[in-house]
Amino acid sequence: MTFRVLVVCTGNVCRSPMAEQLLRVRFAAAGVEVEVSSAGTAALVGEPMTSEAAELSRRFGGVPDAHRARQLTADLVAEADLVLTASRTHRAAVAQLLPRAARRAFTLREFARVAEFVANDPSSELDSDAAPAASPDAVLDILSMSRGYAPPRPDPEADDVVDPYRLSSDVYEEAGRLIDESTAAIVAAFGGSKRVGREIA
């Protein structure tokens, strides 16, 4: 059965579709079978990505042209094995829609942080030899159990990806950088190389 990842932000026109597209291309390049989709807590339903976000996605190897925003629902959350959100606020919204999903809901940066903690833990079951053989479900179980042990960032807001919507190109660049770094670390956690799919332009 295919492992499903759902990425969530607010409008589903900037952060979550960019992360969706980078995860999709990077999982495929790594040979990891994962289905990735996205939605927004206050989606601009039917709208394409902003031109700035689409350009960033292309720069990092994504394919943004067919994207249209859709609204987050409890059914979408229920269908996902892992929910990755742009911010802690979105993570809370996911848990409010479906409380049992809280265990499998992380912010993008939080999941990357926990994954890197586990990867550097000598006692981890996800060492360099074991990781490629671990199923996505097993990886998620280990990271979910490890969440409370991974040292938090000094500033809790550092687990969020800044919202660039209607802001400057510098804010878009920062959001793109954080999404690029996070998605690379996430794919690496599931057995892919950290170098898969990084910036191509």
* Tens of pLDDT, residues 86-133: 999 999 999 999 999 999 999 999 999 999 999 887 665 555 444 445
Give whole-number Cα distances, 107 to 46, 55, 161, 167, in Å: 24, 23, 8, 21
Structural domain contains residue 200: no
pLDDT at 154: 86
pLDDT of 41-75, one tens digit each? 999 999 999 999 999 999 999 999 999 999 999 99
As annotated, the active-site residues are 9, 15, 121
Look at 8-17, 125-134, 185-194 and tell me which has the smallest mean pLDDT. 125-134
Question: Residue 17 falls within a domain, yes or no?
Answer: yes
**Which amino acid is present at 61?**
G
Structure tokens, 13: 């026109």
Quote the CA–CA distance of 124 and 60 in Å, as a whole number. 30
Distances (CA, A) of 189 to 33, 109, 157: 14, 13, 23
Within a domain: 201: no
Say which residue the tokens 């409370």 belong to: 148
The residues near 63 (Cβ < 8 Å, ≥ 6 apart) are 21, 25, 57
**pLDDT tops 50 at residue 138:** yes
Question: Judging by DSSP bridges, how do beta strands 82-85 and 105-107 pair with one another?
Answer: parallel
> Is residue 15 one of the residues assigned to a domain?
yes
Residue 191, pLDDT score: 82
Range(s) of the domain holding residue 144: 3-189
- Indicate which CATH number applies to the domain containing 140: 3.40.50.2300
What is the count of structural domains for the chain?
1
Please indicate, yes or no, if residue 112 is contained in any of the structural domains: yes
Q: Is the whole model's pTM more than 0.85, yes or no?
A: yes
Q: Does any domain span residue 170?
A: yes
Check if the beta carbon of residue 112 is closer than 8 Å to that of residue 192: no
- The pLDDT value given to residue 129: 47
Rounded to 5 degrees, φ, ψ at 84 are -110, 130
Query: Residue 195: inside a domain, yes or no?
Result: no
194 within a domain of the structure (yes/no):
no
Contact call for residues 163 and 86 (beta carbons, < 8 A): yes
